[in-house]
Amino acid sequence: MRYRSLGNTGLWVSAIGFGGIPIQRVEQEIASQLVHRALNLGINFFDTARGYTDSEAKLGLVLRERQAEAIIATKSMARTRNEMESDIEKSLQALGTEYIDLYQVHNVKDVTTLNQVLGPGGAMEALLDAQKSGIIKHIGITSHIKSLLKEALNYKVFETIQFPFNPVETDGVQELLTVAEKQGTGVIIMKPLAGGAIKNSSLALQYILGHPVSTVIPGMDSLPQVEENALIGSRSENLTAAERDLLQKEVEELGSSFCRRCEYCQPCPQGIDIPLVFLLDGYFTRYGLTDWARERFRGMKVKPEVCTECKECEDKCPYNLPINQMLTAARTRLE
């Protein structure tokens, strides 16, 4: 396994990390086998979140016993000091560890939310206090919006950033990587296979590792996946011309007809959280989290059924997606 510096944190992380979303759907016995195998193969970076149901607990059952070998990252959607204090404590209890290596502000969508996190009474106050007490070591931020992460880096308080990057989703990546490298910010790449849309996983991961990133975190829920991904982490990042052509062919065949959660379609006049609908549909169709996705879909305050087909969202979508048709299809699956 190759290891890379996580920015200026002083941590060295495996080129391939362990994404904790799919582990929600396997039993604890299998989850423990996956984590043990990953550690034995040199994978040392494990990413989870408060919002991933029992992912923290499943990872923690092993990681608390082998924490000296692991770097644990989790994250919270909390935006206020009190909410973040509560979530940090819940993460520690679920993981069963005395400290967490990296705690991230999860899925920041706009400057207003960023300002709330960083302002008086915001989540950053709780994170800094927890860092001072030693129960978290480093602080990061995640977002699907690269321009927002670039803005966040201006504040010089986040040691790592996490965002989607894959052979299909490349817009704005190079500029953000340049800023992060200049500032010594660790870079964690999520959605490396476009939520499972890219099938040639080996080439996609090698492609990403050819860039100045710290670690890539594909989700894993089987031993073959763990073994294959760990092997990629020990290979050369350089793709041959033939491999590049093969990957490009798949990208072209895949096209661009899926949501990247850029959120340019928002706000919907009817109040539908369009990116969330497509996110849940992706978990349903690609990750197999059918019950989990349906439960959260049913809990949405405003569902796609109120769509008036005004098509304002389609006019604003930079990828020209047929959003109305996609909402109808997603609703059919998730209801």
279 neighbors 300 (Cβ within 8 angstroms): no
Low-confidence ranges of the chain (pLDDT < 50): none
- Confidence (pLDDT) at 161: 98
- Confidence (pLDDT) at 25: 87
- Confidence (pLDDT) at 260: 74
Rounded to whole angstroms, what are the CA distances from 27 to 34, 54, 62, 181, 251? Answer: 11, 10, 14, 39, 34
Q: Where in the chain is the domain with CATH 3.20.20.100?
A: 3-247
Q: What is the pTM of this model?
A: 0.86
Q: What is the SS3 string spanning 44-58?
A: CEEECCCCCCCHHHH
Per-residue model confidence as pLDDT tens digits over 166-212: 999 898 999 999 999 999 999 999 999 987 778 899 999 999 999 99
Question: CB-hemisphere CA count at 13 Å for 328?
Answer: 6
Alpha helices by DSSP H, 167-320: 173-183, 201-209, 223-232, 241-254, 274-285, 290-298, 312-316
- Domain 3-247 CATH (choose: 3.90.1520.10, 3.20.20.100, 3.40.50.1370, 3.40.50.720): 3.20.20.100
Per-residue model confidence as pLDDT tens digits over 137-150: 999 999 989 999 99
- Confidence (pLDDT) at 20: 95
